[in-house]
Amino acid sequence: MTDDPSNENTDERWMRSAIAEARLAAAEGEVPVGAVIVHEGRIIACAHNERESSQDPTRHAEMIAIQEAAKKLGSWRLIDTTLYVTLEPCPMCAGALVNARVPRVVWGCDDPKAGATRTLYEIGTDARLNHRFECVPGVLDEACSALLTEFFGAIRAKSKPRDSR
């Protein structure tokens, strides 16, 4: 696959928009997670993490995008939408996606510490819940992983004590 956008599939196209949001988060000192919600072939909501700037633990990219999309559509039911997010949703976000009736969720990289759609839990496909969504993992996984690796690597480098020799 080349970098020519005309050759990429639709999921990659929208994930690139989520990656752009994640870069905005990183520039603001937030964990670089970005999300977009697509409805009828266009983005109706885009967001990135805002936990640090707002000091609100619920300001995950997915939560903000869900709220924005609901306002845009005038309904809490986000039927006929797809959420694209750079990191596998956590339990809070996966639960909100169930409650919002989002039918399809696409993510970049898995989250081994909080992933709730495949890694630790499978909330989106749990038959005990009243709604389930299609899960599409690994879209532009390497690019999404690299954002997080670079971000946390920079934080670790800043916190290392300097050699005093």
DSSP characters over 40-79: TTEEEEEEE--HHHHT-TT--HHHHHHHHHHHHHTSS--T
- Per-residue model confidence (pLDDT) at position 4: 43
Q: Decide: 46 and 66 in contact? Cβ < 8 Å.
A: no
- Per-residue model confidence (pLDDT) at position 159: 82
Q: Which of 21, 30, 50, 62 is catalytic?
A: 62
Instruction: Kindly give the pairing relationship between strand 34-39 and strand 81-87.
Output: antiparallel
How far apart CA 18 and CA 83 sit, in angstroms, is 9
Task: Provide the residue type at 27 as one letter.
Answer: A
Distances (CA, A) of 110 to 43, 94, 138, 141: 23, 13, 7, 8
Residues 6+ apart with CB under 8 A from 104: 81, 82, 83, 133, 134, 136
pLDDT tens string 12-38: 999 999 999 999 999 999 999 999 999
The residue ranges of the chain whose pLDDT is under 50 are: 1-7
Q: Is 62 a catalytic residue?
A: yes
How far apart CA 124 and CA 154 sit, in angstroms, is 33
- Per-residue model confidence (pLDDT) at position 160: 73
140's tokens: 């532009």
